[in-house]
Amino acid sequence: MTNKEIVLAFYDKVFSAWDLGPVDQFMKPDYRQHSPEAKDGRDGFKEFAAGFFQGKPKFDIKNIAEDGDMVYVFFQCSFANGTAAKVCDIYRLEDGLLAEHWDVLQPIDPNDPGASGNGHF
Is residue 110 pLDDT above 80, yes or no? no
Closest to 69 (Cα-Cα) out of 97, 28, 109: 97
pLDDT recorded at residue 113: 81
pLDDT recorded at residue 30: 96
Predicted model pTM? 0.92
Q: Tell me the CATH number for domain 3-108.
A: 3.10.450.50
Q: What mean pLDDT value characterizes the chain?
A: 95
Are the CB atoms for 103 and 82 separated by under 8 Å?
no
pLDDT recorded at residue 119: 83
Task: Work out the angle at residue 26's Cα, subtended by the Cα atoms of residues 41 and 40, and round it to the nearest 5 degrees.
Answer: 10
74, exposed or middle or buried, with CB in 10 Å at 0-12, 13-18, 19+?
A: middle
Amino acid at 105: L
Residues with Cβ within 8 Å of 66's Cβ and at least 6 positions away in sequence, in order, are 2, 3, 4, 72
